[in-house]
Structure 1
Amino acid sequence: MKDDRSAEWPPLLDKRQIQDMVHGPISLFYPLDRIVDTREFQRLRDLKQLGVTHLVYPCSTHSRFVHSLGTYWLAFKFVENLKRDTSLNISGQDHLCVSLAALCHDLGHGPFSHLFDGVFRDASRAPKYTHESLSIRLLRRIVNDKEIRDTLEQYLGKGEDFEMNMTFTEELISSQKFVRARYFMKKLELNR
């Protein structure tokens, strides 16, 4: 939902350049750079994307951190291209929500990639915990930091607007609730 009082995203002059081996230069736009600097996100540097695959293929040492940056960049560019079709009416807030979801979709992963999911669920006797649900909880924890919330509110609005945009972001991460996210995707399909 577009709040006319919100700043337009992305702020083209406020970005951090990151060099990626696969994607080349990645522009990490404010305030997403603030999220990458958090302890919750930085822990992804130590988690292998491919679990124990490196034991068989020693060069497969891709981290969740690098994967998340690449996923963000692909999602960012995808929505950037879709925005060229003005009939889709994709707002800067939509763009930020999709980019934020892509960046944070793996926050809840533990060690050993998806092997951790089953072991953790079984050990905790909590079938509702998935890496997606933990990603959402960690994202909420990050967003509860006043400084980060204030920066996000510049683009996502305040109060109800902010909560609606965060719900949209969480729907994209969970792929289970998918209310507004499904509407967003349906809108894209209808306008092909």
Structure 2
Amino acid sequence: MSTPLLPREKVFRDPVHNYIHVRYRVILDLINTPEFQRLRRIKQLGVASLVFQGAEHSRFTHSLGVYEITREICDNFAANYPHEWDDSQRLVALCAALLHDIGHGPYSHTFEHIFATDHEAITRRILLDESTAVNRILRAVAPDFPAKVASVIDHTYPNPQVVQMISSQIDADRMDYLLRDAYNTGTNYGLFDLTRILRVMRPYRDGIAFDANGMHAVEDYIVSRFQMYQQIYFHPVSRGMEVILGHLLRRAKVLYEAGRFDSGFNPRLLIPFFEHRFDLQDYLRLDDGVLNTYFTYWLDYPDVILRDFADRFLSRRPLKSVTFTDQTAHLLPRLRELVAQAGFDPTYYTAENDSFDLPYDAYDPSSANPKTQIEIMQLDGSLEELSTQSQLVHALRGKMTGDKRFYFPKVMLSQQGDLFAPVYQQFQHYLLNGALIAPQ
């Protein structure tokens, strides 16, 4: 396998890792491909920048960060565990780390939900399709190298150490996005001791473990991840803006399918997705800026709903929300009726959203998606699952956290004394007496 080095190490300045170090020519060539450069134009946190104004960082910067953490892991393994780690695995690990998110589309998960795309499947297509620059560069390493890198990303690569570097309950991907998202949102929730975790990480035959004397650093990581989900990723206003974005794209799709899109407003690059016939090149033409440009055009569109949601998204006017439970969900149909009586189409101006996360889960081979457990290596070389050694992690184990929210127009909370005041009062009465938790 050919792995030529650069004449001199290339470095990228980075706010999280200080320097990102590149020695292999193939890594620099991959970074310079059009497919990878597109990630500069896709925000890592999607609409969250409308809540945390500093969260303008991209999938590009995150991907470089995952590569850098993986490089540091490989360096540690090669220096300290040469008998447990085969350093010939380094290049496939580095390439998989760099390219793991290359299939993300504009506004990632909201776009996927509306158009039934799958960023992981598209990542594999980018790696394996011979029309891409990424595939050409990977094939120059070895004919089977694109398939090897793709198999790391889809968890079928035969070396579990490499797979767990990129995808496990404590991997380079999660470690970078927690630190990077905390830095860019201006919060401290996601901070943990990365240097210590990398120091106590070690390979063994069946994967990756952590020295017992570093367990508290791993605990800190688990708690940081829990806090980031509760405070940042599940923020109710971010979710409200995702609702706006989703309804905006859905309305555009409905209008197109009904033949109601005026030619001057046709979103040409979205039409293959409206018609369920997009190919890889159609997908790679899209980024956040493309969608934002169409949204700007639609500010002048004659359809009231499309125009309003384009303005709501671009001007940051989210829907309001209240939390509900299985016990109070029976109130939602009446709330939708009141929203309709106030003059809003409840198909677009109401929504239910649930966001839940499992902070830590021990390995369960019978589950639909079993997670790789975190192993703590004892002094005698035996392995113990983390939650059996940590009371803190045991308290979080298997406990889903999050909430369900009902979204509606902010005006429904109005106290104004106009024609619709009785409707507003009834709506607020249901919120108060129905034990729905106060709006946020």
Q: TM-score surpassing 0.5? A: yes
The residue number in structure 2 matching 1:22 is: 16
The structural deviation recorded for 1:76 is 1.2
Change (3 A) 1:173 1:50: same
Give the superposition deviation at 1:188: 5.0
User: Percent identity over the alignment?
Assistant: 32
From the superposition, tell whether residues 116 and 190 of structure 1 become closer, same or farther in structure 2 (CA, over 3 Å).
closer
RMSD: 2.5
Q: Please name the residue that 2:91 is paired with.
A: 96
Distance across 2 between alignment mates of 1:133 and 1:103: 16
Give the letter for the 1:187 counterpart: R
Pair 1:136-2:124 in alignment: yes
Instruction: Please report the TM-score for the alignment, with normalisation by the length of structure 2.
Output: 0.35
1:172 counterpart residue number? 152
Contact kept? 1:107, 1:139, Cα under 8 Å: no
**Secondary structure of 2:39's match?**
helix
SS of 1:86's equivalent in the other structure is coil
Q: Judging changes above 3 Å, is the alpha-carbon distance between structure 1 residues 70 and 10 closer, same or farther for their aligned structure 2 residues?
A: farther
For each residue in 1:77-99, what CA deviation from the matched residue of structure 2 results, as whole angstroms up to 9, or x when unmatched? 1122112211124133x101011
Asked if 2 retains the 8 angstrom alpha-carbon contact of 1:19 and 1:25, the reply is yes
CA distance in 2, matches of 1:51, 1:149: 29
Q: Hey, what does 2:357 align to over in structure 1? A: none
Q: Which amino acid aligns with 1:18?
A: F
Do structure 1's residue 189 and structure 2's residue 167 form an aligned pair?
no
1:113 corresponds to which residue? 108
| 1:179–1:17 Cα change, 3 Å | closer
Counterpart Cα distance in 1 of 2:146 and 2:8:
22
Equivalent position amino acid for 2:160 in 1: R
Of 53, 59, 80, 1:58 maps to 53
- How many Å separate the matches in 2 of 1:168 and 1:113? 25
How far the C-alpha of 1:190 sits from its partner, in A, is 7.8
Structure 1 counterpart of 2:205, one-letter code: K
Q: 1:122-151 CA deviation, whole Å, 9 max, x = no partner?
A: xxxxxxx52111112112323443xx246x
Q: Give the Cα separation in 2 of the matches to 1:190 and 1:68.
A: 21
Q: Distance in 1 between matches of 2:86 and 2:91?
A: 10
Return closer, same or farther for 1:59/1:149 CA change in 2, 3 Å cut-off: closer
Contact kept, 8 Å, 1:40 with 1:107, in 2: the verdict is yes
Give the Cα separation in 1 of the matches to 2:205 and 2:133: 30
Provide the secondary structure at the position in 2 that maps to 1:33.
helix
For structure 1, the residue ranges without an aligned partner over 5 or more in a row are 1-5, 122-128
Give secondary structure in 2 for the equivalent of 1:114.
helix
Cα distance per residue 1:4-49 (max 9 Å; x no partner): xx34x58375431110011001112321100111110000000000
Q: Is 2:96 the counterpart of 1:87?
A: no
Displacement of 1:179 in angstroms is 4.1
Q: Quick check: which has more Rg, 1 or 2?
A: 2
| In 2, Cα distance between equivalents of 1:69 and 1:168 | 20
State the secondary structure of the residue aligned to 1:180. coil
Assess, with a 3 A threshold, how the Cα gap between structure 1 residues 43 and 77 changes in structure 2: closer, same or farther.
same
Partner Cα distance (1:63, 1:179) in 2 = 28
2:124 and 2:115 map into 1 onto residues whose CA distance is 17
**Equivalent residue, structure 2, for 1:72:** 67
**CA-CA distance at 1:167 after TM superposition:** 2.8
Shift of 1:169: 1.5
Structure 2 Cα separation of the partners of residues 174 and 188 of structure 1: 18
CA distance in 2, matches of 1:34, 1:182: 27
Query: CA 1:12 to 1:33, structure 2 compared with 1: closer, same or farther past 3 Å?
Result: closer
Q: Give the number of the structure with larger relative contact order, counting CA–CA contacts within 8 Å between residues 6 or more apart.
A: 1
Bigger drift between 97-106 and 130-139 goes to 130-139
Unaligned runs of 5+ in 2: 165-203, 210-376, 378-440
CA–CA separation in structure 2 for the residues paired with 1:86 and 1:12: 24
Distance in 2 between residues matched to 1:42 and 1:190, nearest whole Å = 31
Paired residues, number:
165
Give yes or no for contact 2:43–2:59 (8 Å, CA) kept in 1: yes
Partner of 1:3: none
